Amino acid sequence: MTAVDERMIAVFQEHPELFEGYKIELLRGEIVMMAGPGLVHNLIVLAVQDQVPRDRWYPLQTQDLAIPGESSEPVPDLLVVEQGAFEGPGRLVPASAATLVVEVVSKTSALRDYKIKRSIYAAGQVPAYLIVDPFAAQCVLLTEPVGAGDEADYATTRTTKFGDPVPLAMLGVTLDTSEFRTSPGTAR
C-alpha cells in the first residue's frame, strides 16, 4: 500500500461522511472509488437478490469480502452466503464462505469486472462469479476456480443473453433474466 493510500484510509476513517454515496474497494493494493450505481444497475441487483431462496441463503449487498493471499477487499454488488457458513462481527466475510458473487457492469467498471475481479475471486476460490452486463445484454457465469494470484481464473464460462434463463446450480435455482434492463452505450 502506498503512502497516498494510507493517507486516504486515514481521511476515510476520520471523515466517513465525505465518502457517502461512493463505493470504495481495495483491489490488488489499489483503492478504487466509484460513484453510486444507477437505476438499471440497482434493479438488476434487486432482481437477482429476489430470486435467491432465503430459506438457505443470505443475499448480501455492500458486504466486503476478504480474499486470502490478496491485498484485496472487493465489495461485490451481491454476495450470496449459505446460512451458517460464516458467523462473526465486522465487515469482512471470508471468501471461503461465499457461494456466489455478482457484479453488474457499469460504464467505468468493465475492466475491473471482467478481468481484475475475475482473477481476484478465482484466487479466493469463490465457487461461482456472475457478471451481469447491461451494455452487452448478457450474463457471464464463471465456475471452477483454478490457480493463484494474478494467474487465477475460472475454468468454465457460460454466457447467456438477457431474456434466457441462467442455471445457478450452486443455489439450486434458475435465474430469470427476462426483466433485466439494458444500458445505452458501450462499457467495453
The 10s digit of each residue's pLDDT in 144-186 is 999 999 999 999 999 999 999 999 999 999 999 999 999 876 5
State which amino acid sits at residue 32. Answer: V
In this predicted structure, the answer to whether residue 82 has a pLDDT above a threshold of 90 is: yes
Would you say 93 and 75 are in contact if contact means Cβ atoms under 8 Å apart?
no
Would you say 135 and 105 are in contact if contact means Cβ atoms under 8 Å apart?
yes
State which amino acid sits at residue 130. Answer: L
* Range 125-128, long-range pairs (CB < 8 A, 24+ positions): 125/95, 125/96, 126/65, 126/95, 126/98, 126/100, 126/101, 127/98, 127/99, 127/100, 127/170, 128/99, 128/100, 128/101, 128/168, 128/170
Would you say 131 and 140 are in contact if contact means Cβ atoms under 8 Å apart?
yes
In this predicted structure, the answer to whether residue 33 has a pLDDT above a threshold of 90 is: no
Domain segments of the chain: what residues? 37-175
Percent of the residues in the chain that have a pLDDT greater than 70, as a whole number:
85
- What are 88-118's pLDDT values in tens digits? 777 889 999 999 999 999 988 899 999 999 9
21-35, 43-57, 133-147, 158-172: which has the minimum mean pLDDT?
A: 21-35
User: Domain spanning 37-175: which CATH class is it, in words?
Assistant: alpha beta
1-5, 66-70, 118-122, 125-129: which has the minimum mean pLDDT?
A: 1-5
What pTM does this model have? Answer: 0.86
Pairing of strands 138-146, 153-161: antiparallel
pLDDT at 121: 97
